[in-house]
Amino acid sequence: MKVTGESTWIASGRDRHLAAWVHGPQAEPRGLAVIVPPVGRSLAVTYRTLRVLAIRLAEAGFVAVRFEFSGTGDSSAGRGPGTEQDWRDDLEAVLGWSRATWPDAPAVLGVGFELGATFLANSSDPRWGPRLVWDPVSPRKYLRQGSMLRRLSVDGVPRSEGVEHPGFWFSPERVAELNSLRPVEAPAWEPRSTGELPAEREAIYRIDSSPEEGRLLHESPSMAARVPVDRIRYIVEAASELAPGPGGFSADRFVPDRVAHLSGDNGRPLVEEMIEAEDGTLGILTAPLRAEPGDSQRAALLLAGASEPKDGPTGLWTPLSQTLASRGVVAFRAERAGCGDLGDPEDLADPNPHSLDIVESARGAAAWLAERTERRVTGIGLCSGAWAQLRAAETGGFERIVAINNIAWRSDLDFHRRIYEEGLLEVTPEGQQLREDMPETGNLSAATRWKNAAVNRAKNLIKSHAPYSVWRRLGQRGVVDFPEGMLKDVPPTTEVVLVFSAQDHGDLRHSRLDEGIHSVKRHRPDSISTVMLAGLDHSLLSLDSRETATTYFQDITW
């Protein structure tokens, strides 16, 4: 067992399997801990934080189990969030599995976060030992905040019935079920000083983030989220104080179960396998259990956007993988370097998603998938995941790439590094002009102001009126986004399908996208096409957008 974790499936009810990771100490364990996660968008945003928490608990001597509830993340269960009872059953299943795997361990310590903390506090299972509830949220508040975030962050009108979150939808029945949970009432955890009575080992204690930690955990996009190092240290200290000491049990009893059987959306038997290959490739492979006449002979490599974990835009890649496998396609949702469970626990933020490491991850995953399945590989990537596949395709490995809402069209890695490290406001002339218009930056020199304004006027003129040949020369020098350059680097034998929302396609007109595609198609007319999908949003977070994308992938030729 590794401190950084090993993957396993945990069965929960009929045809439900929970994706889980087990982190183990290097010495004799002092305790057993189960981390109860949040759900929905918060699961993606705080993935790195909860993984670091599990690693720090393992370093402190705990066997730490973290998992994902049914219908969330990589956990295979239907086409939406589990019911309130499903999630209660999931929590009981993980607790039971942990006790059965390590029967000699002392009472199980529970650490819950956000809505997971509320489920943990509501559990009446006597097998729990002490419980730490971190930033618990009432179901009503969770639903209200998610609904507000959906309206503010995603275009389009939310579904009228039930409650729609970014990437999640609760039917009216599920809303009522969630609201049956009791709000958490627990005393705040306070470390005991010498001479004080020890803490009650069966009690529930609350741990609250500071306002700044809360903003970065609950109110940030994934790229802006930061691991709260001090709060995690505080939680580990609380867990260590509550643990009874060396438990006299062996962590080596754990044997990972990396193969799960389930039914696809058409009832076809499927198998999902957790992959931890020797070359570093990591992900989940979804395939039909048995071949059938007429099955596709293609495999699909799915990559997430931003630096989010392998389940894609708030878990969409999980049901999509199962939908594709139901039609005979082998689907692989792969982790990328530095992301998800390949993240460095010393890094407090997600990595730059436009880097050579990410490109090499995409290239390596495509090669592994082709060798494993002996099939032609179609890449499906969202935003930076699409960018990585387009860059990786320069050396072959893909028969087809379906690039969804890719808005980055520079191959210059140094530009992307500067954008990530310094920000748009520092790197781009438009951003610099915006900074000058802010009161706190009004002391810039007149020469700098003139230069930035001149650059902006020139770029706007070129965008709108200059011959395309001028844009091409600027793009070749890395001065502007240059779709033609990236598309020309893709081998002619690789079909490229560019899928756009109306907004993203409109924004890319300023990068002369259509002219670039036309230029490339003069030499390879059949290998590049553009698809506009009405109702699509950039990150595939609205319910209509997710259904539109799923239908599109069902209907394309496999």
Q: What is the value of pTM for the model shown?
A: 0.92
Cβ–Cβ under 8 Å, residues 28 and 318:
no
Quote the pLDDT of residue 307.
86
Residue 415: the pLDDT is 87
For the segment 445-483, what is each residue's pLDDT rounded down to a tens digit?
667 667 666 766 666 666 667 889 988 998 998 888 899
CB atoms within 10 A of CB 380: 28
Residue 434 pLDDT: 41
List, edge to edge, every strand of the sheet that includes 330-334.
259-263, 269-276, 282-288, 330-334, 298-303, 376-382, 400-404, 495-500, 528-532
Distant-in-sequence, close-in-space partners of 521: CB < 8 Å, separation ≥ 6: 528
Q: Which residues of the chain have pLDDT under 50?
A: 425-442
- Strands 168-170, 163-165: parallel, antiparallel or unpaired by DSSP? antiparallel
Q: What is the pLDDT, as a whole number, of residue 364?
A: 96
Task: Please give the pLDDT value at position 477.
Answer: 87
Domains and CATH numbers, the chain: 6-137+185-246 (3.40.50.1820), 139-180 (no CATH), 259-409+482-555 (3.40.50.1820), 426-480 (no CATH)
How do residues 380-433 score in pLDDT, each as one tens digit? 999 999 999 999 999 889 999 999 999 999 888 988 888 888 765 444 444 444
Q: What is the pLDDT of residue 435?
A: 44
For residue 21, the number of C-alpha atoms closer than 13 Å in the C-beta half-sphere is: 27
